[in-house]
């Protein structure tokens, strides 16, 4: 659920098909936060929009207890930002996107 510009989420401790795939990245990249269901991609998209359109510095705080999914949330946000940066550079090759994404995630 959203609490202002904050998304409160729960780690489901299992894979949910379609929840974090490329189609979901695309869907959230086309909407502002609050227009569609709460998602970690919505927060990442808002951050990305503010960075490029308003030229505002951005920070995403990920908090929670051990096992809450902080590391996975960080990876998902980086996945979204990587996809958006590739899209903004108009690179359509999936290989280039996965290469950049993999380098970021491995770091």
Annotated binding site for ATP: 64-71
Average pLDDT per block of 10 residues along the chain, 107 residues long: 82 88 95 93 91 84 90 91 76 53 61
The CATH number given to whatever domain includes residue 31 is 3.40.850.10
pLDDT score at 2: 83
**So what's the pLDDT on residue 90?**
57
What was the pLDDT predicted at 102? 63
Question: Which positions make up the binding site?
Answer: 64-71
Question: From CA 6, how far away is CA 42, in angstroms rounded?
Answer: 10
Q: Is 93 helix (H, G, I), strand (E, B) or coil?
A: coil
Range of the domain at 28: 2-106
Q: How many structural domains does the chain have? A: 1
**How, if at all, do strands 6-7 and 2-3 pair?**
antiparallel
As separate numbers, helices (DSSP H) first and strands (DSSP E) second, the chain gives 4, 2
Please tell me what DSSP assigns to residue 56.
-
């Amino acid at each position: 659920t959203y609490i202002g510009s904050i998304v409160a989420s729960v780690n489901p401790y299992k894979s949910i098909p379609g929840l974090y795939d490329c189609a979901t990245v695309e869907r959230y990249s086309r909407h502002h936060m609050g227009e569609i269901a709460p998602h970690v991609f919505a927060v990442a998209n808002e951050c990305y929009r503010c960075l490029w359109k308003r030229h505002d510095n951005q920070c995403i705080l990920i908090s929670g207890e051990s096992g809450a999914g902080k590391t996975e949330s960080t990876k998902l946000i980086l996945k979204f930002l990587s996809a958006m940066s590739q899209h903004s550079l108009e690179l359509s090759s999936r290989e280039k996107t996965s290469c950049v994404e993999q380098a970021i995630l491995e770091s």
